[in-house]
Structure 1
């Protein structure tokens, strides 16, 4: 019998969705002798340690333990470190990130704002006494120095702790060196702000001036004695941070990198390797054009290597741009309706593959992750595989159905594989295509296996996951819960066990749960993603309706009792669903929704809708608070539960407060659940646990009773 202490909501929250204890952040030595990675000590331990796997004998050993290094003291985080973790959705503790030298001999990391290094071969650690709080320390490729950020400046210290000095210091308030600005970290997946040269003699350093950015205040009403937190938030249509790039020598001499920043203000990617000159990717504000520029580190001058244009928008991808060992540009491009890998000017893949990321570039191949493309011989719903690509063709490395990624160096590949039929992810180490080692996971078994069917629904063949109660074996129609994210960069229909655990828990409470990845979600084709341009709201709601109605012909769904729940974009979608289609949806849990699209950030919102001052009607028809369904007296009023963290600095609570005000003005009853001290992640155990229970209670109260035949 399940007790309250070991119930799914409690365990799901305590284990951070069963991710604690799982190995991650792998780095392979270039000589193929070792693999470094992070892992906490158990499935309920938040504090990660740094580990090393010796491939000669397959043994794992800890290289750095935060408990020992901090001697039991509580971990203290600076504001900069908290912001970095929020941007990367990092809910762990201890060593949450590390960097290494080129040989994987020396690693550096920050703990409680202090700088530590670990000698990975010897297994020893030391603290380097430097001015703090330390953020994002990174060894030079030769292992002789460590660069780090402290109080807005970039500093460097010898690997033995000698010669600490500033390389670049802020000239005034609002200026900082070496960290990514808000939109780069939140929307461009660029978390770094400095890059070592391959010869370890200088660095590329981003200078961020937040002075132009409007200032917002994030307060905690439950603690009126505390001063609000001031943040710079570049909302749609408002000024961004001014970002420049400098070549900085170890003597502090610096040279600015020159490009047309007025036309291309976004510094999206930086790459510096032995294979070529420093390479940067810069984007126009409308994200319809971008330049690949090679940098002369002596003068700061740039030359164009390649230019991209797209009438809708240009997507950014992991692992590119970069140089191949032969000096050719490696990039991912949308060409001919497909997302392809290009080396030089030649595409090496076709519409049979939808390229997701470049994982490694070798002397004779490129390692990529990809989904089945529009011209694939058979659909592979929710699957992502690892492929080797070269001019001779394509070879798939991952074989079993599932979601796979990899890290590779020195002839060694670390393959991380999730599948529908087993919990967590399996980590295998391959040499010459053969498994030589595995990396242990300490993650807890969820004790719950999803009863999930991956399928397609409707004329557009919308990818769907359908989950039924595990004890359901009849044909009595069930109330329906749609459980989508449903928007850009958020694929939910995946061939992975743990991705469906929460949906299965709701199913076991008596629902048929549907997860639908409509237009705008990733993994299918460029055209599928870009159909939401200018018409975000209408498209995503229609695809949820189409998927539901298509599946009702194949599953016992009670269409008189349909609810929807979602968080972030999913919360936006849930609110739209009950306001615009109350004929279909009867209740909604609206979590951390973006309701006034003018209040979300520049790089994200302008990609889909343009500038609000130039296109006010586009913003109006896509914003929830301006929705005609709020005030239409002919439309039925559907119950809505609005949930939001008061400390959220990504989707600020103003979104939910404005929605509540609009609902109140329209005479629409609704519930608001404010979460004190909670950000966009909701990492707190009791909050995460009780949120599931409160949502279930709301759904049971709010859906109409079953119709008796």
Structure 2
């Protein structure tokens, strides 16, 4: 790690370093022969532009494979609106090379830079720009390394050779709202699928998404601070309104075209695509209500599909990284909610039990599956917030854990595996940042042999987080408590409380790590006892825990914040007469909900980018949890905030970026109008030009300072 600037305060450093991610290695791949590890990393904790690097697994030597400054001749990046939108969907705040794709040998890497196409030879250490139509996004190398397929902002899917010859269109849009080879908005935002074309293992054709967002309703996002600028048009599929029409085609390099056929009316969501040597291409498709999904096998000769497996759930079905997939010998690998557990299934066998909660599949080898998991049954958890890497044989035997620093249960932030080489990034509560280790599999009975540690250039935080982990209350709600540095109970007495949750689906905040808790520790150091609680609906505690919020955001998630607060007050110096709550996105919704519905518990709130009317949020997320608004209007009324506006009797600050195209500013404006109509005073802080990520350094820094000032004044000191 690099040292910080002497003049840095925490808010300034936290904002400038993008939460200490700048300079940290990321986006790892292992060459199929295990000879090298490929990754991205910027050259320092103060430079956001990522370079492409390799690490030689024989020697541990790191080498730069592509430097954006050299490739652009020292010029600035020029990002298209489409690329900016893709980065917003993926919450990408860095610059330079933000993604890459390897060929089948791991020798070549393709990437987009400033909308242009580059290919790096990772053995020779050279990088070359290829002639291509641009601006382009998402270049993908064929497994044989001969071709690169890429999508353009004009909606085309194009193909070029890696020798720079033969650039041509494989598919061109038939209308202004059609794109080929790109994931549609809802897939990027909610399905964790950011790609729209997949090569065949034989490099002779591709599976290509065709998306038509003509049916999607149009919204316009203006910049009120610059009224001379034309509003941006956004195709936004709000709950209850049409989604984009998504299809899939087989496109041959010889010009052939075959449409992939499935019941798109019953299963409109294309959630996953997998194509490997282990079997026919796999598609995971979902019904619109996400209560039914099918894994389809594709006949590449005809485009016909057949159902290989169907699942149903009364609440909803989750999507997971890495599945479905084939084992090399043709067994289907999937993650399923079975008998109250989230289990790994290989072929016909469920190979994990109720003591584990599967999170993802990392790799499938001929002998075993590597996965991440946390505790399934709360009573067996050693402590809250751990996620570990496990390995299990196809027969369900030989389960082992990959320990980090002698601890089998730590927080794994990412891991990849190929050819007996594993790269793991792990974090621990008492160590800043993450530790990235490269290891080699050894014979059975000996776990791994560390080859190298990938260096991090991230800055060392100017403060130290000191989370105290607990299971709170009868429901054993995972929680972390933070007290001011140097706090003495006899001297300082009870402390005003700041609840700091996300509290919703896919938003685990209580983790066995250090850096994710720095923000909470800084708030504590301003004189608060800070509580982070992951109530029902947050991931990691089993299907029943996550799905208990079905059709009831406003009930279970808020109740658990109250229960955790009261339970922790029995042990920690929490002044329950001075309790504030803050949050962003779902956490912002929860913060505003808290003061509107439970003013007896919460005495002030800061709500950042809150969803206030769930009819204004997108289809795949909202309908998963609350159903269709036409079928369950009463659920939307009960879970939205505007109907509770007349009940506000506590200080409330609402913060919103006016350029936010995820949670649009209309959410805050509608709540503010309802509060004004009810005669309820409140504070609104509009952020001109700011999106949902708030990446601007000055904005991010001052937001922290303004929140502290507001909460202190609201709680009386």
Aligned counterpart for 2:690 among listed residues 657, 678, 684: 678
Give me the CA root mean square deviation. Answer: 1.2
* Cα displacement (A) at 1:44: 1.2
Aligned counterpart for 2:307 among listed residues 304, 308, 317: 304
* 1:167 matched to 2:170: yes
> Does the aligned pair in 1 maintain the 2:37–2:54 contact within 8 Å?
yes
* 1:321 matched to 2:301: no
Structure 2 partner of 1:398 = 403
Whole-Å Cα distance in 2 between the matches of residues 367 and 626 of structure 1?
47
Structure 2 partner of 1:285 = 288
Structure 1 partner of 2:462 = 447
Q: 1:471-504, CA deviations, whole angstroms, 9 ceiling, x for partnerless residues?
A: 1022400000000000000000001000100000
Aligned counterpart for 2:609 among listed residues 589, 592, 612: 592
Aligned counterpart for 1:469 among listed residues 484, 498, 513: 484
TM-score normalized by structure 1? 0.97
> Does the aligned pair in 1 maintain the 2:606–2:654 contact within 8 Å?
yes
* 1:215 matched to 2:218: yes
Whole-Å Cα distance in 1 between the matches of residues 641 and 76 of structure 2?
42
> Does the aligned pair in 2 maintain the 1:136–1:148 contact within 8 Å?
yes
Structure 2 partner of 1:699 = 711
Structure 1 partner of 2:182 = 179
Whole-Å Cα distance in 2 between the matches of residues 365 and 3 of structure 1?
47
* Cα displacement (A) at 1:376: 6.8
Structure 1 partner of 2:574 = 557
Q: Partner of 2:196: helix, strand, or coil?
A: strand
Correspondence 1:508-519 to 2 at 5 A = 508-519=525-536
> Does the aligned pair in 1 maintain the 2:581–2:605 contact within 8 Å?
yes
Whole-Å Cα distance in 2 between the matches of residues 470 and 247 of structure 1?
60
Whole-Å Cα distance in 1 between the matches of residues 380 and 548 of structure 2?
24
Any runs of at least 4 consecutive aligned residues in structure 1 with deviations exceeding 3 A, and if so which?
Answer: 2-5, 375-378
* Cα displacement (A) at 1:592: 0.2
Structure 2 partner of 1:128 = 130
Bigger CA drift: 565-574 or 432-441?
432-441
Aligned counterpart for 1:418 among listed residues 400, 424, 427: 427
Q: Give the number of aligned pairs.
A: 699
Q: Partner of 1:430: helix, strand, or coil?
A: strand
Q: 1:520-559, CA deviations, whole angstroms, 9 ceiling, x for partnerless residues?
A: 0001110000000011111111100000001111111111
Whole-Å Cα distance in 2 between the matches of residues 10 and 610 of structure 1?
41
* Cα displacement (A) at 1:641: 0.6
Structure 1 partner of 2:643 = 626
* 1:650 matched to 2:662: yes
Whole-Å Cα distance in 1 between the matches of residues 157 and 403 of structure 2?
41
Structure 2 partner of 1:583 = 600
Q: Partner of 2:489: helix, strand, or coil?
A: coil
Structure 2 partner of 1:78 = 80
Structure 2 partner of 1:114 = 116
Whole-Å Cα distance in 2 between the matches of residues 430 and 308 of structure 1?
37
Whole-Å Cα distance in 1 between the matches of residues 537 and 348 of structure 2?
28
> Does the aligned pair in 2 maintain the 1:352–1:376 contact within 8 Å?
no
Structure 1 partner of 2:260 = 257
> Does the aligned pair in 2 maintain the 1:28–1:104 contact within 8 Å?
yes
* Cα displacement (A) at 1:298: 1.3
Question: Would the alpha carbon gap of residues 253 and 3 (structure 1) be closer, same or farther in structure 2, given more than 3 Å must change?
Answer: closer
Aligned counterpart for 1:409 among listed residues 414, 418, 434: 418
* 1:47 matched to 2:55: no
Q: Partner of 1:63: helix, strand, or coil?
A: strand
Q: Partner of 1:358: helix, strand, or coil?
A: strand
* Cα displacement (A) at 1:134: 1.1
Structure 1 partner of 2:553 = 536
Correspondence 1:354-503 to 2 at 5 A = 354-374=357-377, 377-390=380-393, 391=395, 392-399=397-404, 400=407, 401-404=409-412, 405-432=414-441, 433-475=448-490, 476-503=493-520
Q: Partner of 1:393: helix, strand, or coil?
A: coil
> Does the aligned pair in 1 maintain the 2:49–2:96 contact within 8 Å?
yes
Q: Partner of 1:189: helix, strand, or coil?
A: coil
5+ long unaligned stretches in structure 1: none
> Does the aligned pair in 1 maintain the 2:591–2:606 contact within 8 Å?
yes
* Cα displacement (A) at 1:377: 4.0
> Does the aligned pair in 2 maintain the 1:4–1:10 contact within 8 Å?
no
Structure 1 partner of 2:445 = none
Correspondence 1:63-102 to 2 at 5 A = 63-102=65-104
Whole-Å Cα distance in 2 between the matches of residues 393 and 480 of structure 1?
46
Whole-Å Cα distance in 1 between the matches of residues 697 and 440 of structure 2?
40
Q: 1:395-438, CA deviations, whole angstroms, 9 ceiling, x for partnerless residues?
A: 10134242113110011001111111100000011012110111
Whole-Å Cα distance in 1 between the matches of residues 209 and 688 of structure 2?
35
Q: 1:75-134, CA deviations, whole angstroms, 9 ceiling, x for partnerless residues?
A: 111111111100100000000000010111110111111100100110001101111101
Question: Would the alpha carbon gap of residues 58 and 4 (structure 1) be closer, same or farther in structure 2, given more than 3 Å must change?
Answer: closer
Q: 1:578-626, CA deviations, whole angstroms, 9 ceiling, x for partnerless residues?
A: 0000000010000000000000000000001111111111100000112
Q: Partner of 1:326: helix, strand, or coil?
A: coil
Whole-Å Cα distance in 2 between the matches of residues 535 and 135 of structure 1?
39
* Cα displacement (A) at 1:378: 4.1
* Cα displacement (A) at 1:3: 9.7
* Cα displacement (A) at 1:375: 7.0
* Cα displacement (A) at 1:386: 0.2
Whole-Å Cα distance in 2 between the matches of residues 373 and 9 of structure 1?
36
* Cα displacement (A) at 1:252: 2.6
Question: Would the alpha carbon gap of residues 75 and 301 (structure 1) be closer, same or farther in structure 2, given more than 3 Å must change?
Answer: same
* 1:266 matched to 2:278: no
Whole-Å Cα distance in 1 between the matches of residues 559 and 5 of structure 2?
41
Question: Would the alpha carbon gap of residues 408 and 290 (structure 1) be closer, same or farther in structure 2, given more than 3 Å must change?
Answer: same
Question: Would the alpha carbon gap of residues 378 and 87 (structure 1) be closer, same or farther in structure 2, given more than 3 Å must change?
Answer: closer
Structure 1 partner of 2:444 = none
